[in-house]
Every structure is written in structure tokens, then in C-alpha cells.
Amino acid sequence: MLELTSVSSGYAGAQVLREVSLSLNAGEIVCILGRNGAGKTTMMKTIMGLLKASQGQIIFNGTDLTTIAPHKIAGCGIGYVPQGRRLFSELTVAENLEIGLMAGNKSSATLDKVLGMFPRLAERLDQRANTLSGGEQQMLATGRALCLEPQLLLLDEPTEGLQPSMIALIRDTVVALKKQGVGILLVEQRVDAVLSIADKVMFLENGMNRDVMSADHLRDNPDLLKKYIGV
């Protein structure tokens, strides 16, 4: 479904990602682990076309994303929940979701499905995004991405700053999406929160793909966590 081949990118003169390759199949949860500054967010932005790849290919269902306009990438069926959520804070819950629906050209049936997953959003449709709790904001950011009915969902540190009940909800949502065949690329600092749901783990270090392994292998060899990310 998604195949990165030797992708490099960075910011004005400073290269961050260095020839990263990775593949992800439908219904698979792939977790990117790495220290702060390793390039995890940069990798997500590069997939979404927000940063231009200076080298390599990003093939999504047969299309090379590096060759199409950035604003068309979401419409290919890729939902993105950026780090720090990035909602339209002055807009209401309903308006934020509407933006997701428009990006994917989806109808109110999709909206009903998303509100079914997050009933708390349904109770707060007219509330402004910046008045929601942190957990509710994360639900909204996730709900907005799901309004595309994405085949692939990118989640950048979705549990950052959330309380345990909300972390459990995000986790359950990810597992439910996997069951529907959605591919999930997940950046997460809480190794314990992801190891039980991930299929594959990629260690990113200094913008390079140090290692990819099955989550089972990592569970059996926890010392690898110490080796790669020092925990």
C-alpha cells in the first residue's frame, strides 16, 4: 500500500531524512520509534508532501506521491493527524470535521460514522475547538482525518499529554481501523502503549532507518529498545 524507497528530505539546506525505506501493507500497524529530533515528524511531513523529498520515491497504491501536488495527497486516501493536533482553533467541532469531509469529498454518512466512533464530539458540535480538553482535541484531530475515510492513517504522537483513559481510546480506535483494513503509520514515544498493537517497528536514528523488525521480535528482545532509543 505504501512504499518508501530511499527517501531523503530536510529543511532549507539541512538534510534530515537520509535514504529511508519502509513498506506498509493494508491493515498493518507500523510504529516509528526514535529519539527526539530523529526525524519522525519530518518523515510524516514528507509523505504528506508538506516537505519535498530531495531523493527517492513514495509510492501509495501505485502513485508516486513525490510527483503530485501536496494538496492532492490527502484526497488519495491518506489521513494525517499531525503532532500537536493543529486544529482550526477558532472554528467549531462541526466546522473542523466539515473540512475533513471536503478534503475527501465525503458525505454526511461518513460524518455519522465518525461521530459514532467519538460520541463526545457529537455532543459538542457547536463548541469551538480551542475550548475542548486535550483528549477531546485529539479526538477531533483524529475524527477530522477519519472524515476522509482514509486507507492509510498517519498519527504523529497521538497520545502526547493525554490521560490513560484517552490513551486507551486512541489505541482502541487504531485497532478498530486496522480490523477495517486501514494501514496505520504511528509515531509514539510510549513504547509500552504500542508494542502490543504494532505489527512492525522501525527505529529511526539521525534521519536513518537503523532497523525494522516485527513487533514480536522486539517483545522477545526488549534490550533492543535500550540499544536504539535508550529506554
Ligand X SMILES: Nc1ncnc2c1ncn2[C@@H]1O[C@H](COP(=O)(O)OP(=O)(O)O)[C@@H](O)[C@H]1O
Non-local CB neighbours of 64 within 8 Å, separated by 6+ positions: 57, 58
The yes or no reply on residue 159 touching Mg ion (CB under 5 A) is no
How many residues at the interface with Mg ion, by CB under 5 A?
3
Rounded least distance, CB 157 to Mg ion, Å: 6
Non-local CB neighbours of 35 within 8 Å, separated by 6+ positions: 205, 229, 230
Which residues lie near ligand X (CB under 6 A)?
11, 14, 16, 34, 36-42
Instruction: Pick what 70 binds: ligand X, Mg ion, none; C-beta below 5 to 8 Å, kind-dependent.
Output: none
Instruction: Pick what 165 binds: ligand X, Mg ion, none; C-beta below 5 to 8 Å, kind-dependent.
Output: none
Task: State the CB neighbour count (10 A cutoff) for residue 207.
Answer: 21
- Mark residue 142 as left, alpha or beta (left: phi above 0; alpha: psi -120 to 50; beta: remaining): alpha
**53 or 97: whose CB is closer to Mg ion?**
53
The partner residues of 186 in beta bridges, in order of sequence, read 31, 155
Rounded least distance, CB 187 to ligand X, Å: 7
The yes or no reply on residue 41 touching Mg ion (CB under 5 A) is yes
Rounded least distance, CB 189 to Mg ion, Å: 9
Instruction: Pick what 37 binds: ligand X, Mg ion, none; C-beta below 5 to 8 Å, kind-dependent.
Output: ligand X
CA distance 122 to 57: 39
